[in-house]
Structure 1
């Protein structure tokens, strides 16, 4: 009960943690797969799981402890199934989806960035002992115990992992949400903000990086300010549909089909997450219609920017009254007044 109480306090994170993982692109939920299923055990072997069964594993402990749980394998067919079990590290794919390290090969990326983390994560702490291969008779449910041994030098915080069941080329992943005891830090940054595309295809692109040691469910707010007018159709933000794991980076976009046709717009992104995490980043973009590609387009853009800037300055500056005609000369020395040249005036 202490483990469940500890993890319920991270409710915002756990709402998204129920994703079913796979080695690479995610498969449908185990309950939708024909033939057999894998899920956290509830009840006892041979009895059906009660309603409200756990969608994933909740584990918490101090460094050096050994945690225990059980996986339920249900064979709904009329033939025996031979299922192989293993633990795997979980990570964020570039678009934020949850994935796990494959059984063989290094996988993309490295620890602390986009791609599969390096070996030695929480997935390697999971052991099924002699039960790595399980034969499940027809119409039978088998419960398989496993342990997760937290190394003594493990850093505190969340360590994402999964239990992977494989049979005949088909894999089902069950999330393991592990928190190692100790100080936690919720921290993130928002980087590489840019406005891309034009017209209905315009998007605001940005990168989120989890700089802390706990999983985060970020919330995004967007503020747009135009040079010449309001931006009524700018996106306002939302809860980002991503569980951002510690040390991971994801590249996301927000659609902006109502972007202006002619204006300069400044974008401010503010990202927050439970635990006090907050980050702000800005970007700006000139929107000029009908810009061709290549050097000619750059010239047209420069002309449009110069013209728009000049119009903006003219709006705020009006010439003052000049000297009255035939005004008598002012008294004083006869030294000629200096000549002031106006840029662009005829000579």
Structure 2
């Protein structure tokens, strides 16, 4: 039978500045599920249903200020004919690390690293999420993991730490590489705020004689977590085959100011795109070559022709 407890809404979980009774290794039997064969799937893990009609929840949604202790309960269902012992822990979800580190370490089952669920029984296992007092505001993603007999199930935990949020995106290290249809614009996106960002990027190009085909704005299939850095590249099939060009890459994200960065390159037939810095160095070396040649001839004793204009022969019959 279900043990009554005060209703807890999906969007507003109890928050206390101390570890509550749910942090203890407490196991509540909730009833009997239909029996299954012992060799079947055997078990499942999910958030405790919400109080609004017992609607299922796809994940845990918690919110609190720095220093808060948030509570929720994980439902472990064992419809098989055998008891099952589950190992429980919190973990960071890939891409879910926040500016103060992953939130998986904030999850605790009160020292109960393992829970045994009897046959044909559902159990509610309480856990807490302790937000560090120095945690920066923003969104975090973590997971509650349940493992048994080599199988592991992860239930997502979406956590929002209260306080002012900041969406800030920058573009760094823009460079043009490759040649022909394989030319691409490489760049790095840096999330300098405290909320995850879904970026959009575009490429604008200019040649010696005007605009060149670039890349229209498009949404990237990635999300940049707070404090994250992503090295990416945009294909640029419209790059010129010959000459110089400059590109401007612009990145935007909801709530963040647009960020831009530029790069330039020269293109030669049969060769890759070359950065402007390399070309300047090459031009300087070519200009210095005559000076080095004169110095070498002087050391060997070879007459060095004086610098100056070449003599112009007089036309025939010009002398008296």
**Fold shared by both chains (TM-score > 0.5):** yes
Aligned pairs, how many?
A: 249
Counterpart Cα distance in 2 of 1:75 and 1:235: 53
CA contact (8 A) 1:136 1:142 kept: yes
TM-score normalized by the length of structure 1 = 0.59
| 1:78 to 1:240, Cα distance in 2 relative to 1, 3 A | farther
Counterpart Cα distance in 2 of 1:269 and 1:180: 32
- 5 Å-filtered alignment, 1:200-239, equals 200-228=181-209, 230-232=211-213, 234-239=214-219
Per-residue deviation at 1:131?
4.2
Per-residue deviation at 1:75?
5.2
User: Can you list the C-alpha shifts for 1:30-84, whole angstroms capped at 9, x where unaligned?
Assistant: xxxx66544433259xx9x85xx43332211122222112223455767654332
Counterpart Cα distance in 2 of 1:271 and 1:143: 45
| 1:346 to 1:82, Cα distance in 2 relative to 1, 3 A | farther
- Higher strand fraction: Structure 1 or Structure 2? 2
Question: Paired residue for 1:167, among 148, 151, 160?
Answer: 148
Give structure 2 stretches of 5+ with no counterpart.
1-7, 13-40, 287-307, 314-320
| 1:292 to 1:208, Cα distance in 2 relative to 1, 3 A | closer
Q: Which has the higher contact order (CA 8 A, sep 6+)?
A: 1
1:255 is aligned to 235
1:61 is aligned to 64
1:265 is aligned to 245
- Determine which structure has more spread, i.e. the larger CA radius of gyration: 2
TM-score normalized by the length of structure 2 = 0.63
- 5 Å-filtered alignment, 1:197-346, equals 197-228=178-209, 230-232=211-213, 234-291=214-271
Counterpart Cα distance in 1 of 2:169 and 2:85: 43
Q: Find out whether 1:89 has 2:92 as its counterpart.
A: yes
- 5 Å-filtered alignment, 1:170-209, equals 170-209=151-190
Task: Indicate the SS of the match to 2:110.
Answer: coil
Per-residue deviation at 1:169?
4.5
| 1:242 to 1:140, Cα distance in 2 relative to 1, 3 A | farther
Counterpart Cα distance in 2 of 1:2 and 1:68: 11
Task: Indicate the SS of the match to 1:152.
Answer: coil
Give structure 1 stretches of 5+ with no counterpart.
6-33, 93-97, 101-110, 307-340
Per-residue deviation at 1:286?
2.0
1:9 is aligned to none
